[in-house]
Amino acid sequence: MEQTKNLAERIYKEAQRLPEPLNREVLSFIEYLEFKHGIADRGIENLKMAQQPTMDRIWDNPEDDAWNDR
């Protein structure tokens, strides 16, 4: 457990040095790993699902078609 704590502290310290946009990437990657390994917080996942219909309207527009995967 002590080794895990030290690693988490090291990750935290390294993240503090990064600019905000990179920290967003780090957070996104952590969320991906949680999802991939089935350890995501269900409360957060439920919130994301509740937001999906609203976000779909925002993301699905002609101006953003260039960003869609084809």
* DSSP code of residue 60: S
Q: What is the C-alpha separation between 7 and 29, in angstroms, rounded?
A: 17
**Structurally, how many domains does the chain consist of?**
1
Instruction: Please give the average pLDDT of every successive group of 10 residues along the chain, which has 70 residues.
Output: 80 93 90 83 74 76 66
Reading the block at residue 1, the tokens are 């457990």
CA angle centred on 65, ends 60 and 69, rounded to 5°:
95
Q: What is the C-alpha separation between 54 and 14, in angstroms, rounded?
A: 35
Range of the domain at 51: 2-64
Asked if residue 70 belongs to a domain, the reply is no
- Is there a contact between 34 and 40 (Cβ–Cβ < 8 Å)? yes
Reading the block at residue 23, the tokens are 């920290």
Report the pLDDT value the prediction gives residue 60, as an integer from 0 to 100.
72
Report the pLDDT value the prediction gives residue 69, as an integer from 0 to 100.
62
Asked if residue 27 belongs to a domain, the reply is yes
